[in-house]
Amino acid sequence: MSLRQQHGAEIDAILARYPQKKSAILALLYVAQDTYGRLTDESIREVATIIDVPPTHVFEVVGFYTLLYDENVGKVVLQVCDDVPCAFCGAEQLVSTLESKLGIQCDQTTPDGMFTLQRVKCLADCNRAPLLQANLDYYRNLDTTEKVDDLLTQLRERIAKNDRISISGRLAEI
């Protein structure tokens, strides 16, 4: 099924927000990557057709922005802020804990396809370091191993129930 067949109403609502269709590109790519788990070449071409631009333009945009994934990622993308000041407030410890709990290094995905781990730059929540985003929901003050364990358990339960799983944050918790 095409993107339009699956999400016609949402796509029309997105297009209606902008004076020019091309402006809808990021919002449509978010819909596409949530639908297919990542941005496949086919989905990128579909977005190009919807906004009426050459596919190369959309490929270029996908390569530019860090929240657009054209490679396989897990059901949940964990993004740890390792920037200043987090780097001096426990971020490195948080990265090591996650690497050992998940048995992977940064920029890798667990063999069961559940989690991808990444380092990212400032998430604008520096007073609650160390912190991460899981599918763009914030989890703050992760300064003990127990808190990391609880977080992973909670996320595994959500994945099992398919509860608000959106790598693009379209279903973020408000």
| Interacting residues with another protein (CB under 8 A) | 17-20, 22-27, 29-30, 51, 53, 57, 60-61, 64-68, 83-85, 87-89, 107, 119-129, 133, 136-138, 168-170, 172-174
Select 87 or 104, whichever has its Cβ closest to another protein: 87
Q: Is 76 within 8 Å of 113 (Cβ atoms)?
A: no
Q: List the structure tokens of 98.
A: 């996650």
CB of 7 to another protein, least distance (A): 16
Non-local (6+) Cβ contacts of 14 within 8 A are 24, 27, 28, 31
CB of 143 to another protein, least distance (A): 13
Select 1 or 124, whichever has its Cβ closest to another protein: 124
CB of 64 to another protein, least distance (A): 4
Q: Which helix (H) or strand (E) holds 57?
A: helix 55-64
Select 85 or 112, whichever has its Cβ closest to another protein: 85
Question: Which candidate, 63, 64, 69, places its Cα nearest to that of 39?
Answer: 69
* Distance from C-alpha of 136 to C-alpha of 124, rounded to nearest angstrom: 12
Select 33 or 97, whichever has its Cβ closest to another protein: 33
